[in-house]
Amino acid sequence: MERKRSKGVTFWAWWFIVGGILGLAGTIKYYRTAAFPGSPFLMPFLVQVAFIVVSLTCGILLLQLKESGRKGTILLCCAYFLLYSYLTIHWWQSNKIVVERMLKYDKVARVKSQEQANMKLVRTSAGSAVFPLIPIYFLTRPKVKEQFEDKES
């Protein structure tokens, strides 16, 4: 009997696949001039590429209703949560430099004051840290977990 994939599982699978493709394109565009051996940007580049590859793999496995895809996605989201939580704390501690750069160079952010820049930084980084908890919550629901059980015995 063929297993039925819910719309939620399909949504999250495509979310990770499309996010991985867009992330790869953005990463390559951003680092194409900076990523060369000996560059200080090489390690962050490799970490980003690793996250992208895992994201694409997990999305494909979710579409196939593989338990390894569900567990991998949960681990990936935990890693994202820990990474962005760390970065949020790090950015908050070093935000004077970040805010100065935002005020001086970032025309897109359109921040006019230190307070505006602080709030933009906090909202962006805190949102990035909390968002990975949503697929974790979804993929750990009993009805969703049932879809990944192998019923052929």
CA–CA separation, 143 and 126 (whole Å) = 29
Predicted confidence (pLDDT) per residue in 5-16, tens digit: 999 999 999 999
Note the pTM of the prediction, 2 decimals.
Answer: 0.75
Q: Among 3, 153, 143, 21, which Cα is nearest to 63's?
A: 3
- 41 pLDDT above the threshold of 70: no
Predicted confidence (pLDDT) per residue in 115-147, tens digit: 666 666 667 777 777 889 999 999 999 999 999
